[in-house]
Amino acid sequence: MRSTVHFLLVLLLSLPIVAQTKSAKAKSTSVPDQALMQQIWDAWSTRDPANAAKFYAKGPHMFFDIAPLKYESWKEYENGVKTVLAGFSSLKCMVNNDAQIHPHGNLVWGTATVHVVEVKTDGTNGESDFRWTVVWEKQAGQWLIVHEHVSEPAGGGPPPEKK
């Protein structure tokens, strides 16, 4: 009897640990989604690259941006984009509803168009749409951007309507 009670007590105390393990496994198998894409652009909308840093791998990776042409690491990206972002007094970046996510093993690639509403430091306002391609790699249980390509179509304008 005593060993049965002891066994049941150990079993009951173990249940929360098993539940936490299952929850952690469920989280680790999730992939980036449109909500994460918007979080990334919300971070860039603050005009402070430090707010976007947590989404990017720190190794020597290639990031293509509208200006300048490319950055060969997060550190280079973070430092270089500060000059570009300093030209804006406000920036709002919104992922359009055409976002797509494509899981492939330890990598996920995504595409979207992003609508930007901006106010430059000289007071001029503007709106534009650009293309975004992003590649995430799972590193230490976290999805981090290892490659990114941002470009503005020649002639600008909104993306074509989906049919």
pLDDT tens string 109-122: 999 999 999 999 99
What local confidence, expressed as pLDDT, does residue 33 receive?
95
Q: Which of 121, 130, 52, 53 lies closest to 94 in space, CA to CA?
A: 130
- On the question of pLDDT at 41 being above 60, the answer is yes
Are 134 and 31 contacting, i.e. CB atoms less than 8 angstroms apart? no
Query: What confidence category does residue 13 fall into, taking pLDDT thresholds of 50, 70 and 90?
Result: very low
- On the question of pLDDT at 162 being above 60, the answer is no
Per residue in 96-154, pLDDT tens? 999 999 999 899 999 999 999 999 999 999 999 999 999 999 999 999 999 999 999 88
- Segment 3-17 shows an average pLDDT of 40
Are 131 and 153 contacting, i.e. CB atoms less than 8 angstroms apart? yes
Residue 63 and residue 151: Cα distance in Å, rounded? 11
Identify the three-state secondary structure at position 67: coil
What local confidence, expressed as pLDDT, does residue 159 receive?
57
Pick the CATH number of 31-151 from 3.30.300.30, 3.40.50.720, 3.10.450.50, 3.40.50.300: 3.10.450.50
Residue intervals in the chain for CATH 3.10.450.50:
31-151
Per residue in 64-96, pLDDT tens? 887 777 889 889 989 889 988 999 999 999 999
If residue 8 lies in a helix (H) or strand (E), which one and from where to where?
Answer: helix 2-29
Burial of 119 (0-12, 13-18, 19+ CB in 10 A): middle
Q: The tokens of 82 are what?
A: 């500060």
Handedness of CA 73, 74, 79, 83 (dihedral sign): positive
- The residue assigned the tokens 């299952």 is 22
Burial of 123 (0-12, 13-18, 19+ CB in 10 A): exposed
What local confidence, expressed as pLDDT, does residue 51 receive?
97
